[in-house]
Chains A and B, each alone.
Chain A
Amino acid sequence: MKGGVSVSKDIIATIKENVIQGRKTQEDVGIDDSLAGTAGVVELTQQALGKNISPQVIITDGLTAGMQVVGERFSTKEYFIPDMLASAEAVGAAMDIMKPALESANVETKGKFAIATVKGDIHDIGKNIVAILLKGSGYEVHDLGIDVPTEKVVEFVREEKPGYLGLSALLTTTMTEMGVVIKALEENKLRSSVKVLIGGAAVSEEFAQEIGADAYCVDAFDAVRVLEGY
C-alpha cells in the first residue's frame, strides 16, 4: 500500500512537471528537452485514472498546481504567452479525459463557459486564445465557433445552461450583434441565468455597460480574473 501512495504521488508530481513544461502528449518537446520522449499530461492522466487516483487529486495537486507555477513564471516574464497556452492546452486535454470520471463522481468544474464570435464576424484568433486559457483554468468550455447566429446562442444557453457566455467581435459593424444577443436572452428570460462577458478590438468598457453586458475583458487573462471574481 505504501508503494501505491508513492506511485500516485510520483504520477501527480510528474503531471505537474509536465504542465509546467507545457507538454500535452509524449510527442511534445516542452520548454526544454529534459522530459523529451516521456509521457505527457494526456498519457499521465490516463495512467493516473487507471490507477484509480481521484480526479480531484489530479486536478488540485497536478494540473492546478502546475498552472500556478506557470502563472508565476508568466508574470515574472520568464514565460511567454505561447508557453502559457501550451500549458493551458495540456490541462484542457486532461480535463477532457477526466470528464466522464468527474461527472460520475459528481465533482463540479469551475463552470460551463460558452464562447462565440458573433454573427457577421469571422475573427477568431482572440476568441480561441480565450477558449484555450479558460479551459486550461478549469472551465468547461463550449466553443460555438464564428459567425454564430443569435438564435444559436440563445438555444445553447437554454439547452446547456452555461453559467457564462463569452462574445467576441472585432468589427464595429458586428459589435452591435452583442447587444442583440443580450436583448434576445432577455426576451427569452434567460438573461439572469448567465453572465455575459464581451471582448475584441471593437468593444470597450463603456460599450459593455451600454448594452448591459456583465463585463468587458481586455484579454484572456482579464477573463480569468473576471471569472474568478464571480
Chain B
Amino acid sequence: MPREGILVDRPYERLTREQVELIHQVSMQILTDPGLISFNREAVDILHSHGAAVESIAGDHQSWQVKIPEQLVLKALDTAPRIVKLGARNPDNTLIMHGDEPRVYFITGSETNIWLDVDFPIYVSKADPTREIRVPEFKPRRGTVDDLCQSAHVCEHLEMADGYIRTVNIQDRDITEDNKDVNKFFASLNNNTKHFMSGLTSLKQLDNVVRMAELVAGGKKALEDNPIISFITCLVKSPLQFVDDTTATFIEVCRRGLPVAVSSSPQAGTTAPIKEAGIIAQINAEVLAGITLGQLVKPGTPVLYGSVPVRARMDTLGDSYGSVETSQYNIDCVQMARFYGIPNYSTSGVCDTKIPGQQSSIERLFSDIVVAMSGPQYLHCAFGLLDCNSVFCLLQAVLDDAHFKMIKFFLRQPRIDQPEMEAVLKQIRAVVTTPQKLYIGYIRPLLRSGEISGIYPFEGSGETDDVFELAYERMKELLARPVEHIDRETTSRIFEEIPGILPRLNIYERGS
C-alpha cells in the first residue's frame, strides 16, 4: 500500500483553459525562437539528431543555440509516463503519482548550508527579579553529516513527511567533492525509510550511489521495481540555458532509467520576466526542454515536471519565496503540468525570514495552503526551511508537520449526500424539542473517529506563548524514538563495495 497523501477534490486553479493553452503556445514559440543555449555538447548532439536546429555560438565557452521544434516536445510528452512511482526502503512509504490526479504528497528539503540550533536561555525581568522567562535563541552554524542523520531521523517520524529530500548540506572537514554524494545518500537512507530524492554533486559518484541503492533495495531488478531513490536536476539555468555539468548528470540518470525531477527555478524580475505571463511561459519552455531531452535519451524515463519559480525581492534582487506572487507562479505551474499529464514537483513553505517566528509562520503557511490547494503531486513544502533555502531548523520542521496536518485535514472532501442529510435532519428535529437545544450529544460518535480536527498541538497554558518550547520537546521525543537502520549485513556490503563513506556512519562498528 502506497502512502495516501491527500487527494484534492476540486483543485484551485488560477488559469482558464484558454490561458493554459496560450501559455503552451508561447512556450513552443520560445523553444524555437530564441530556443535554448546549450553549454553541453551531448545534449546538442541528441537534440540535433532528432531534428532540432543547432548553431554554434562564438565565445569563450563552447555553446550552441538549439531550436526545439514543437513536434519533438509533443513526442516527448507522449513517451513521458503519466504515472510515476517513487519507491521506498519501507514499501509502505511508496509514492504513486498520477499526472492527472491532484494527490498531494508533502516532501522535505532542500539542501541548506546553515543548520539552526535552538536553545532556551533564561532571562530575569528587570522590573520583577522574581520573574524568569525562557526565550528561544537561534544559533546558525555550518551543516554536518551528523545533522543530516538527525534531520533524516526526525523526518522519518514526522507523520506528514511523505518523502525525504535532504535538508542540509554536509560540510564536515572530511567531506570532499568526491565522497559527498555517497555520504549524503548513506546518511539519508540509513536514517529514513521514505523515498529519497537528491541532487548529485559529482557525476563520478552516480554509479556508486546507484549501486548503494541496489544493495539497499535488494538488487538491480529490485531497484527498478522499487526505485527507492530519485534525482533532481536543475539542468536548465534561466533564462533558457542547458548547463554543462548538470545536463551531463541528467543524461546519465535518464540512461539508468531512474526517476528524475526536471526542475527550473527562474526568478521573476532578474532571470525571467517580472510579469506572470512571462515567467510562466519561460519556465514552462525550460522544463519542457529538459523533459524532451530526457525522453530522447531514454523514452519512458519517469520524470517530474519540476517548478521552482520565485519572484525577486525589490530591495536586494535576491529570491523572495515569501512573496505572494511566488505562490501564484507555483500554482500556475501545477496547472501546466496537469495539462500535460505529468506529475508535478512544486514548491511552497520556504520563507524569507532567517529564524522561526511570526514572519516565518505567516509566509510559509500562506504558500503551503494555497499551493497545496492547487494539487501538485510532489509538494516540496520545505519542512524547516528558512532564509530562502539557506537555513534549516529542525524545530521549524516539527512545527511545519503540525501545520501540514491541519492543511491535509482542511483538504478533505466534504460529506454531503442523501444519507448524511437525512441523518442531520433527524438530528435537528430531535434537538429543537429538547429543553437545552444542544447538539453536544451528537459529537460523541465523531470524537474518536478522526473526523474532528484536534486543537493546536503546541498550545501553551495561560498568557504565555509556549509554541517553541513545546515543539522542542516534541523534537527531542522524536529524536529519542528509534529508526529502522539498514541491516548489518547490507551495511557491511555497502562499506565494502562503495568507497568514501565515513567510517563513523557505520552504526554497527561504532565504538569498536
Contact = CB atoms under 8 A, between A and B. Distances in A.
Contacts of A129: 438
B447 A132 contact: no
Contact of B436 (A22, A29, A80, A132): A132
Contact of A128 (B436, B445, B448): B436
B423 interface: no
A22 B440 CA distance: 12
Contacts of A29: 444-445
Interface stretch (A83-91, A162-170, A175-183, A204-212): A83-91
Contacts of B435: 143
Given A128-B436, A131-B436, A89 B444 contact: no
B443 interface: yes
B444 A128 contact: no
A29 B444 CA distance: 9
Contact of B444 (A82, A124, A132): A82
Contacts of B440: 81-82, 85-86
A31 interface: yes
A5 interface: no
Contacts of B447: 80, 82-83
B66 to A, nearest CB: 64
A16 to B, nearest CB: 19
Contacts of A80: 443, 447
Interface string B437-465: 11011011101100000000000000000
Interface string B400-443: 00000000000000000000000000000000000111101101
Interface string A55-94: 0000000000000000000000000111101100100000
Contacts of B443: 80, 82
A85 B439 CA distance: 11
A157 to B, nearest CB: 21
Contacts of A125: 438
A11 B440 CA distance: 27
Contacts of A85: 440-441
B439 to A, nearest CB: 10
A81 B482 CA distance: 35
B436 A82 contact: no
A23 to B, nearest CB: 10
A128 B431 CA distance: 14
B294 to A, nearest CB: 53
Nearest to B444: A82
Contacts of A131: 436
A129 B440 CA distance: 10
Interface residues of A, number: 18
Nearest to B446: A82
Most chain A Cβ neighbours within 10 Å, of B436, B441, B443, B448: B436
Main secondary structure of the interface of A (DSSP, over half): helix
B444 A22 contact: yes
B438 A128 contact: yes
A197 to B, nearest CB: 19
Interface residues of B, number: 11
B436 A31 contact: no
B445 A89 contact: no
A38 to B, nearest CB: 17
A176 B139 CA distance: 54
A29 B445 CA distance: 8
Interface in A105-156: 124-125, 128-129, 131-132, 143
Contacts of A28: 441
Most chain B Cβ neighbours within 10 Å, of A82, A86, A129, A143: A82
Nearest to A128: B436
A22 B441 CA distance: 9
A80 B454 CA distance: 12
A148 B440 CA distance: 24
B444 A83 contact: yes
Nearest to B439: A82
Contact of A86 (B436, B437, B444, B448): B444
A86 B445 CA distance: 11
A85 B444 CA distance: 10
Nearest to A131: B436
Contacts of A132: 436
A111 B339 CA distance: 71
A58 B369 CA distance: 54
Interface string A16-58: 0000001000001101000000000000000000000000000
A11 to B, nearest CB: 24
A125 B437 CA distance: 9
Contacts of B444: 22, 29, 31, 82-83, 86
A80 B452 CA distance: 13
Nearest to A29: B445
B459 to A, nearest CB: 13
Interface string B10-54: 000000000000000000000000000000000000000000000
B309 to A, nearest CB: 45
A81 B444 CA distance: 10
A131 B445 CA distance: 23
A21 B447 CA distance: 13
A41 to B, nearest CB: 13
Nearest to B435: A143
A31 B449 CA distance: 11
Most chain A Cβ neighbours within 10 Å, of B440, B445, B448: B440
Nearest to B445: A29
Nearest to B443: A82
Nearest to A80: B447
Interface of B: 435-438, 440-441, 443-445, 447-448
Query: Closest 10 interchain pairs by CB?
Result: A128-B436, A82-B443, A82-B440, A82-B444, A85-B440, A29-B445, A80-B447, A86-B444, A128-B438, A86-B441
6 contacts: A22-B444, A80-B447, A82-B440, A82-B443, A128-B437, A128-B438
Given A82-B447, A131-B436, 16 more contacts: A22-B444, A28-B441, A29-B444, A31-B444, A80-B443, A80-B447, A82-B441, A82-B443, A83-B447, A85-B440, A86-B440, A86-B441, A86-B444, A89-B441, A124-B436, A143-B435
